Amino acid sequence: MATKTRGNVLLGLHAKGRGECPRCARTGIKLLYDGSLIDGTATKVCKFCRPKKQLTIATGE
pLDDT in tens, 4-50: 888 888 888 889 999 999 999 999 999 988 888 888 889 999 988 88
Distance CA 37, CA 52 (A): 15
**∠37-40-46 over CA atoms, to 5°?**
25
CB atoms near residue 8 (< 10 Å): 8
What pLDDT, on the 0 to 100 scale, is given for residue 34?
A: 87
Residue of 45, 57, 39, 52 lying closest to 20 (CA atoms):
45
> Considering the entire predicted model, what is its pTM?
0.67
